[in-house]
Amino acid sequence: MNSLPGKTVERLSEYRRTLLACLEEKRNFIFSHHLASRLHITAVQVRRDLMLIGYSSANRKGYDVKELIETIGGILDPDDGMNVAIIGIGNLGRAVAGYFKGKRSKLNLVASFDNDPQKVNKVISGVKCYSYDELEKMIPELNIRIAILTVPADYASEIAEEAVRFGIKGILNFTTKPLNVPSDVFLEEYDMITSLEKVAYFAKENTI
């Protein structure tokens, strides 16, 4: 199968999260318009995304929740799991580590990196923290493919470049510094100030 559009991949992840919540509520079937309304999108969008991954087996009761979770997992999840490291283990790094706890996931948090001597060689949020000097050794040794970048913005470019040189194939950049990476590395950037300015803009419209 060809690569799916990035937005479809995001929505598949959201569908799965919603479907898992359905399972917890003991709902075994769901209609496309229910799935859609929980995510504030249209049922057409849901059906189009599922068509893209070749899933069309809704019956009179709707989609089979378990079956759809498995189908989405078959698309999104790496077969053998994939190892992740958090680079920069301050408040944000620790918060991100918290998201991994107790999640059924094929993404394994296996290490963190920081240069604070108080942190290096300690176990923080469940994983061992290594120094930045050890990126070269530990990325291949632990087969780390994905880096979550939560370092201060000033170091972001330098550290990302090293991480890529030593084998990282995907970066989730939480710093405010936009990065450049080679074309065979996938980069996703998130700047919370942008989200916040968007909320402020529309909140202002609502207040007037």
Q: Which CB sits closer to a second copy, 138 or 147?
A: 147
Is residue 148 a contact residue for a second copy (CB under 8 A)? yes
Q: Kindly indicate which of the ranges 23-31, 37-45, 56-64, 128-136 contains the residues binding a second copy, using the contact rule CB under 8 A.
A: 37-45
Q: How far apart are CA 120 and CA 181, in angstroms?
A: 27
One of 60, 146, 163, 164 touching a second copy (CB under 8 A):
146
Element (H, E) at 38: helix 32-38
One of 19, 50, 82, 163 touching a second copy (CB under 8 A):
82
Q: Kindly indicate which of the ranges 62-70, 91-99, 131-139, 157-165 contains the residues binding a second copy, using the contact rule CB under 8 A.
A: 91-99
Number of residues located near a second copy, criterion CB under 8 A: 62
Q: Kindly indicate which of the ranges 7-15, 24-32, 130-138, 157-165 contains the residues binding a second copy, using the contact rule CB under 8 A.
A: 7-15
Is residue 41 a contact residue for a second copy (CB under 8 A)? no
Distances (CA, A) of 80 to 27, 76, 83, 105: 29, 12, 10, 11
Q: Do 120 and 87 touch, CB atoms closer than 8 A?
A: no
Nearest to 191 by CA among 164, 172, 171: 172
Q: How far apart are CA 95 and CA 11, in angstroms?
A: 23
Is residue 203 a contact residue for a second copy (CB under 8 A)? yes
Is residue 157 a contact residue for a second copy (CB under 8 A)? no
Give the end-to-end CA distance of the chain in Å, rounded to a whole number. Answer: 49
DSSP state of 3: P
Q: Which CB sits closer to a second copy, 60 or 192?
A: 192
Q: How far apart are CA 109 and CA 97, in angstroms?
A: 8
Residues 99-138 contacting a second copy, CB under 8 A: 99, 103, 106-107
**Which residues are bridge partners to 112 per DSSP?**
86, 129
Q: Determine the Cα angle at 157 with ends 151 and 160, to 5°.
A: 75
Tell me which amino acid residue 160 is. A
Cβ of residue 141: shortest distance to a second copy, in angstroms?
A: 17
Binding site for a second copy (CB under 8 A): 3-4, 6, 9-10, 12-14, 17-18, 38-40, 75-78, 82, 84, 90-92, 94-96, 98-99, 103, 106-107, 145-146, 148, 150, 169-172, 176, 178, 184-186, 188, 190-207
